[in-house]
Amino acid sequence: MKIGLRIFLGYFLIVALAAMLLARVFLAEVKPGVRQAMEDTLVDSANVLAELATDDFLAGRINDGTFAARIRALDRRDLGAEIWGFGKRVAQYRIYITDARGIVVFDSNGRDLGKDYSRWNDVYLTLRGRYGARSSPESPDAPDSTVMHVAAPIRDADGRIVGSLTVAKPNRTIAPFIARSQRVVLAWGLLLLGVALAVGIIAAWWLSRQLRGLQRYARAVTAGERAVPPKSSGEFRALGEALETMRARLEGKQYVEQYVHTLTHEMKSPLAAIRGSAELLEGAPPSDGGEAAVPMAEADRARFAANIRHQSERLAQMIDKLLALASVEHRQRLDNPQPLALEAVLAEAVEAARPGLERAGISCRLRLEDASSGANAPRVPGDAFLLRQAVLNLIENAADFAPRGSGIEVAVEHDGGGVRIEVRDRGAGIPGYALDRVFERFYSLARPDGGSRSSGLGLSFVAEVAALHRGRAALANRDGGGAVASLWLPLSS
């Protein structure tokens, strides 16, 4: 399972559990909270009505006095109220009064007059000076439909409890308010859950993206590819920079060790030739310690001196190319790529190679497509110096294998989303065993004229420049004889 999915599932589980617990708490508290508020209102109403009913109760006219008439008139009143979107037209109170024995002496509904209510908690507790309230089913057939009863004491002039007044209100009257509150809580809970999930998805995607970028970077470094730390922020950026620093230090150490080993190996041959030629030029030592050395012929002396010069130049060329190769191998990207007109870059490379080509008796022709020249020609982002040097290396490599009197052709063609630069010659071609190794560092083939091998760094330099430009280099045999070296470059980085 991918880490992004793990993060999201873990976050989703936490949010879902929290949302479920909060929803249960809120929904469980809505109904009791509303009922508690209603009970508080009933307490006030019961005590106010008990005070208003005291005079008629003490005078013995509670069932047909002024208080009873006003209460019965309440049923005919049109309340015309609008409570938060819910209309209220009639009062939904029931009021009954009992004497000191708990016998009902007044009932606003008129149904239980004369009945004994002394066993109901609201009457029983109130007559004994305590707070009396109860919640009972509205009818035996509807046990879920309850009515809340709250009682208040009726006192005589001496403060003795002589009766009780109960205000009853069905709980179903507040059911719409409870249902709406629960719907609102549930809707907001679902909205918050959705927002939390969206935040979790974004956070999981962001974390996964950062980790995938670092993973791709680590894999590229492991594979020896050019790679730059991914664009990150916070701790991920610091981690990427730390990995890049570690990579640079490890690669630098390995790079130096590898180059010292290969350079010393490659320098042995020219140094041995230089030392041998120098010893011969110095003259052989006397065989018996007194006889003078035989003088060397002038032609041999010139040949050995030329060999020393040639091998010295070979060493200098090897070091120069090694430094040039090292400068591009350690670069992860182009610092400031510029849009380049290939026509000018190739013309400069051909011109730089012309003196050596003329000495070898080889011609060079630059061929451009109509769309590859002029003001409207596509431009390749890159480094002009590196591309010019890479093309020059390809031309010089072709010249080493092209027969005297032949020609080299430098061509540019459109290829997909980029351009392809090709250097074609009519030499002997590349042996099959060497096709996969020509771009290796220090790998070189024998020249057809018996000349010494090159440093084996020119094509490595070309491959590194191509990779630095997000392109690729290739070398293949040409139909009809010869070889074609190509450098493909994208039109956009």
Whether residue 111 is predicted with pLDDT greater than 80 in this model: the reply is yes
Of the three residues 147, 180, 213, the one that is the final residue of a domain is 180
| Residue at which a domain ends, from 151, 180, 209 | 180
C-alpha distances in angstroms, 107 versus 93, 113, 325, 348, 482?
Answer: 11, 6, 109, 115, 120
Q: Are residues 343 and 308 in the same domain?
A: no
* Residue 189 falls inside a structural domain: no
What is the pLDDT, as a whole number, of residue 372?
54
Tell me: the pLDDT tens digits for 134-161? 998 877 776 667 899 999 999 999 999 9
Report yes or no on 219 lying in a domain: no
Q: Is 235 found in the same domain as 122?
A: no
On whether both 274 and 373 belong to a single domain, the answer is: no
* Residues 492 and 354 placed together within one structural domain of the fold: yes
Counting the structural domains of the chain, the total is 3
467 versus 271: the higher-pLDDT residue is: 467
454 located within any domain: yes
Q: Tell me: do 327 and 346 sit in the same domain.
A: no
Contact indicator for 38, 148 with CB cutoff of 8 Å: yes
For residues 350 and 323, state if they share a domain: no
Whole-number pLDDT of residue 284: 44
At residue 287 the predicted structure's pLDDT band, cuts being 50, 70 and 90, is very low
- For the cut 50, the answer to whether the pLDDT of residue 317 exceeds it is yes
In a domain, 440, yes or no: yes
Sign of CA dihedral 281, 282, 283, 287: negative
Residue 28 located in a structural domain: no
Residue range 22-49, pLDDT digits in tens: 777 766 676 777 788 888 999 999 999 9
Q: How confident is the model at residue 285 (pLDDT cuts 50, 70, 90)?
A: very low
Q: Which position has the higher pLDDT, 270 or 212?
A: 212
CA angle 417, 423, 424 (to 5 degrees): 120
The CATH number for 382's domain is 3.30.565.10
Query: Which position has the token pair 């470059």?
Result: 489
CATH number of the domain at 106, please: 3.30.450.20
Question: Which residue, of 274, 306, 332, is where some domain finishes?
Answer: 332
Residue type, 394: L
Write down the pLDDT at residue 444: 77
Structural domain includes residue 209: no
What is the model's pLDDT at position 260?
Answer: 55
Asked whether residue 346 falls in the same domain as residue 471, the answer is yes
Rounded Cα–Cα distance for residues 14 and 482 (Å): 69
In percent, how much of the chain has pLDDT > 90?
Answer: 21
The whole-angstrom separation of Cα 480 and Cα 168 is 111
**Contact of 240 with 221, CB cutoff 8 Å:** no
Sorting pLDDT into bands at 50, 70 and 90, what band is 120? Answer: very high
Evaluate if residue 68 carries a pLDDT over 60. yes
In a domain, 12, yes or no: no
**How confident is the model over 320-349, as pLDDT tens digits?**
655 655 555 556 567 677 888 888 888 888
Same domain, 174 and 51: yes
SS (H, E, C) 57-109: HHHCCCCCCHHHHHHHHHCCCCCCEEECCEEECCCCCEEEEEECCCEEEEECC
pLDDT tier at 76, thresholds 50, 70, 90: confident
Q: Is 374 among the domain residues?
A: yes
Same domain, yes or no: 489 and 342: yes
Q: Which two tokens stand for residue 10?
A: 């873990």
Is the pLDDT confidence value at 296 over 80?
no
Asked if residue 325 and residue 264 are part of one domain, the reply reads yes
Say whether both 316 and 344 belong to one domain. no
Domain that holds residue 82: 37-180
DSSP code at position 418: E
Q: Please check whether residues 366 and 468 belong to one and the same domain.
A: yes
pTM value is: 0.44
